[in-house]
């Protein structure tokens, strides 16, 4: 099977490419960031381009569209950039795929409570896919964390588990919790966390099974954890009592996002503690 992965050098893309390579897939990787990236060894073709400027020069059995902008705070400040990129890149790819191509899209659990432009841009892309694609699977990812021991999150850290791992690894002076006055048991936001390997495996299994053509499929562990619970888990597995401070709420953060209808092919095997431990070990490896 020939698969195009957009955003292949990113966090999810690099893990997925490794799994698909081990299963014998022919992978074309599309990304604008390639310098010294280990994912190159998993790809038969490498395309160094922005998705918005990409012209497809061959047919694929499947396209896994992972590229996009994901920072909630930034989307509040610059909504036009998020709509232009997240919606525009999806339209660009859909205009070029074949009739039988399976289009897999990385959406967000934020679409359940779309209080920011990032989430709304993903919902708009979902709508376009349902209109224009014959074969598709839309995934709404919950918070992705952890590492396979080789690949890791790239770019600026914005997600809780990575930031907590940085604090445990003495790469930041303290960890800031944004808001402790939410309507939750301990006052902090609740999120569902999924290990990146469990998520990437579910995508790979979907490529083998075929398109679902459903409104969306949820990828999460099935359990919600508060920010304080995640911090406590990181401290426990690392043995590091790093400093924690409290700040004001961030714009666009809902109080709770947790899964209620799990994707049928998803079989999560990693615990929150394993996500924290592998994220911490990744930070120790990071130069």
Q: Would you name the residues annotated as active-site residues?
A: 118
Look at residue 76 and give its three-state secondary structure.
helix
Say which DSSP state 45 is in: E
Distances from the Cα of 85 to the Cα of 75, 117, 167, 190, 255, angstroms: 11, 12, 32, 28, 27
| Whether the Cβ atoms of residue 101 and residue 62 lie closer than 8 Å to each other | yes
Alpha helices in 5-84 (DSSP H): 11-22, 72-77, 79-82
Tokens of 200: 């990437």
Element (H, E) at 6: strand 2-6
| Whether the Cβ atoms of residue 258 and residue 190 lie closer than 8 Å to each other | yes
| Whether the Cβ atoms of residue 18 and residue 148 lie closer than 8 Å to each other | yes
| Closest to 84 in 3D by CA, of 129, 31, 124 | 124
3-state helix, strand, coil in the chain (%, to 5): 40, 20, 40
């Amino acid at each position: 099977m020939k698969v195009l992965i957009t955003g292949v050098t990113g966090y999810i893309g690099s893990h997925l490419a490794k799994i698909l390579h081990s299963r014998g897939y022919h992978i074309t990787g599309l990304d604008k960031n390639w310098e010294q990236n280990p994912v190159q060894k998993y790809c038969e073709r490498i395309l160094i381009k922005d998705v918005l400027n990409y012209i497809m020069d061959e047919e694929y059995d499947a396209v896994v569209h992972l590229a996009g902008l994901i920072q909630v705070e930034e989307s509040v400040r610059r909504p036009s950039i998020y709509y232009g990129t997240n919606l525009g890149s999806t339209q660009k790819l859909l205009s070029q795929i074949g009739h039988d191509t399976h289009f897999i899209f990385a959406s967000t659990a934020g679409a359940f409570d779309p209080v920011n432009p990032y989430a709304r841009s993903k919902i708009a892309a979902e709508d376009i896919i349902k209109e224009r694609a014959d074969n598709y699977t839309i995934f709404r990812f919950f918070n992705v964390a952890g590492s396979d021991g080789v690949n890791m999150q790239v770019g600026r850290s914005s997600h809780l588990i990575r930031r907590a791992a940085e604090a445990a690894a003495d790469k930041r002076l303290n960890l800031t919790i944004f808001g402790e006055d939410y309507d939750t048991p301990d006052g902090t936001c609740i999120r569902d966390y999924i290990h990146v390997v469990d998520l990437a495996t579910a995508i790979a299994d979907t490529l083998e099974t075929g398109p679902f053509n459903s409104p969306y499929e949820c990828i999460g562990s099935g359990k919600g954890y508060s920010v304080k619970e995640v911090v406590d888990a990181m401290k426990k597995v690392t043995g590091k009592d790093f400093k924690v401070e409290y700040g004001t709420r961030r714009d666009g953060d809902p109080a709770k996002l947790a899964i209620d209808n799990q994707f049928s092919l998803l079989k999560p095997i990693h615990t929150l503690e394993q996500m924290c431990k592998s994220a911490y070990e990744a930070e120790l490896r990071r130069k």
